[in-house]
Amino acid sequence: MTAAFDAVVVGAGPNGLSAAVVLARAGLRVQLLERADTIGGGTRTAELTLPGFRHDICSAVHPMAMASGFFRRWGLQERVEMIVPEVSYGHPLDGGTAGVAYRDLDRTADGLGVDGPTWHRMFSRLVDLEAELSQFTLSPILQVPRHLGTAVEFGLRILHQAGPWWDAGLRTEEARALLAGVMAHAIRPMPSLSASAAGLALAVHGHGYGWAVPRGGSQAIADALAADLVAHGGVIETGVEVTSLRQLDASVRLLDVTPKQLIAIAGDEMPVGYRRRLERFRYGGGASKVDFALSGPVPWQAEELRRTPTVHLGGDRAAVARAEHDVARGVHPAEPFVLAVQAGVVDDTRAPAGQHALWTYAHVPNGSTVDMTEAVTQQIERFAPGFRDLVLASRAHTASDLEEHDPNYVGGDIASGAPTMRQLIARPVVSTDPWRTAVPGTYLASSSVPPGPSVHGMGGAYAALSALRHEFGIEHLPRLGPDGGTTT
């Protein structure tokens, strides 16, 4: 009997959606299955607290989407209104001061006083090479870099911030805290190679493509991908939980899942040796989410923070490093690192007029069942006195709750696998084609494969290209642009 589809994609997160779009654009009959009742995965938006308050369920700010080769070819900014703020991110300190990273590198340097020249030297060359840097950081680590000089230059910056000498050259707490905040996104001990690499890449994009916020919420990205898929003949079904490959009506399967789910779904079809390699894959620190409905804007002591969507909370660099080490040791920090997003400062669709929806994550040990509402509230109140009085409602999701919401977040690990240096090479196994599994016709298309976590769609696009090449003899990426062409 002829299969109804040429390929089935399991999971409608950004990687599953990007994989399905690439396959459909190549002329294949594609079915996309999603366990939840709505598509989006890490790019969902919903009213979590009160009516009219729209909260992003996972990702809220998208520097990597702006840098993504897939999204740039697909024409993200032509399909979704991506609001790029003047201030990329900020980091308050006790006493009312703050480090502020403007998109304008010169303005950022001017605001950092004696550290301005050092900050400018650290980033000016990499910002000029941002497109080349993005090609390197969003490519498989075992692939020879197309721009070797850029890769070497970036590597030297990583080494400078990856060891006990990481404070060398920076004299102010504001500059040190700015770097600590972006590095903490990796949820890894600091200083370390993996935290340094992630943080420096994010910082470069903060002065380049920008830290964009989709108007209306991250769901807009998922909805635009889905619309393109359907326009090219794809079929989407929600509320379908896949527990076995035998459920899938196609011989080619792409799964936007972690190795843990892949093992369960593939079952006896998976060779024992490959299964054992997947079982060695490790998951990282967790995130505990708290969303707030507020009667007004957050009253930050540092006025500059009232204009940026993204604020990093945790105190000075040493305090942030202590908190991240606690998480790595399985301990809940007394003063956790908190990532806060106040999208309403640039997007008036997120809450009723004059009110605000505040999105926060606190870093916690993997598998945590602790409600972090009070700890997060205290951290915000520390730098924005009076915040507590503005709270109309809140909703908490522990790290364990996040896994129930999305099985890819194992133990609350929103990276779908610890982004250690080892697991940047073995993600999930050492291979020049890690998206192609040992199960015939089955491909892994998630954040658990290169180039790793964040909303960039590249993991899905690479998996689709691998499937096109091996299963259908198609060697080249199809046209992806809104007009049928490519967008650069």
Q: CA-based Rg of the chain, rounded to a whole angstrom?
A: 21
Is 265 in contact with 244 (CB distance < 8 Å)? Answer: yes
Nearest of 14, 5, 28, 3 to residue 465 by alpha carbon: 28
- Residue-wise pLDDT tens digits, 233-284: 999 999 999 999 999 999 899 999 999 999 999 999 999 999 999 999 999 9
Q: Quick check: 486 pLDDT over 60?
A: no
**Residue pointed to by tokens 């605001």:** 111
Q: Which two tokens stand for residue 55?
A: 């909260």
- Residue-wise pLDDT tens digits, 292-312: 999 999 999 999 999 999 999
Q: Alpha-carbon distance 230 to 219, whole Å? A: 16
Q: Alpha-carbon distance 153 to 142, whole Å? A: 18
**pTM assigned to the model:** 0.95
- Residue-wise pLDDT tens digits, 20-59: 999 999 999 999 999 999 999 999 999 999 999 999 999 9
Q: What is the mean pLDDT of residues 218-232?
A: 98
pLDDT band at 137 (very low <50, low <70, confident <90, very high): confident
Q: Alpha-carbon distance 453 to 203, whole Å? A: 16
Q: Which residues contact 359 (CB under 8 A, 6 or more apart)?
A: 55, 56, 60, 289, 291, 340, 341, 342, 343
Is 210 in contact with 63 (CB distance < 8 Å)? Answer: yes
Q: Are strands 338-341 and 98-102 parallel, antiparallel or unpaired?
A: unpaired
Is 10 in contact with 456 (CB distance < 8 Å)? Answer: no
Is 398 in contact with 234 (CB distance < 8 Å)? Answer: no
Which residue did the predictor score with more confidence, 486 or 34? 34
Q: Looking at residue 455, what is its pLDDT?
A: 97
Q: Quick check: 168 pLDDT over 90?
A: no
Q: Quick check: 483 pLDDT over 90?
A: no
Q: Quick check: 379 pLDDT over 60?
A: yes
pLDDT band at 145 (very low <50, low <70, confident <90, very high): low
Q: Which two tokens stand for residue 368?
A: 């945590």
Q: Quick check: 332 pLDDT over 60?
A: yes
Q: Looking at residue 488, what is its pLDDT?
A: 41
**Residue pointed to by tokens 């009085």:** 389
Q: Quick check: 146 pLDDT over 80?
A: no
Orientation of helix 193-206 relative to helix 130-137, angle to 10°:
140
Q: Alpha-carbon distance 105 to 99, whole Å? A: 13
Q: What is the mean pLDDT of residues 286-297?
A: 98
Q: Residue 89: is it exposed, middle or buried by C-beta count within 10 angstroms (0-12/13-18/19+)? A: buried
- Mean residue pLDDT of the chain comes to 95
Q: Looking at residue 487, what is its pLDDT?
A: 46
Q: Which residues contact 334 (CB under 8 A, 6 or more apart)?
A: none
Q: What is the mean pLDDT of residues 63-88?
A: 97
Q: Alpha-carbon distance 268 to 271, whole Å? A: 7
Q: What is the DSSP-derived secondary structure letter of residue 135?
A: H
Q: Looking at residue 147, what is its pLDDT?
A: 67
Coil, strand or helix at 115 = helix
Q: Quick check: 370 pLDDT over 50?
A: yes
Query: Could you write out the DSSP letters of every residue in 272-321?
Result: HHHHHHHHT-----EEEEEEEEESS----SSGGGGG-SEEEESSSHHHHH
Query: Could you write out the DSSP letters of every residue in 192-254?
Result: -HHHHHHHHHHHHHHTTT---EETT-THHHHHHHHHHHHHTT-EEE-S-----GGG-SSS-EE
Q: Quick check: 206 pLDDT over 60?
A: yes
Q: What is the mean pLDDT of residues 437-462?
A: 97
Is 246 in contact with 39 (CB distance < 8 Å)? Answer: no
In the chain, what percentage of residues exceed pLDDT 90?
90
Q: Which two tokens stand for residue 28?
A: 């294949």
Is 3 in contact with 26 (CB distance < 8 Å)? Answer: no
Q: What is the mean pLDDT of residues 104-124?
A: 97
Work out the number of other CB atoms within 10 angstroms of the CB of residue 193. Answer: 17
Q: Alpha-carbon distance 354 to 356, whole Å? A: 7
* 451 preceded by a cis bond (ω within 30 of 0): yes
Range with the poorest average pLDDT among 141-150, 296-305, 350-359, 473-482:
141-150
Q: Alpha-carbon distance 235 to 452, whole Å? A: 27
Q: Alpha-carbon distance 108 to 175, whole Å? A: 10
User: Can you list the domains of the chain with their CATH numbers?
Assistant: 7-58+216-282+414-472 (3.50.50.60)
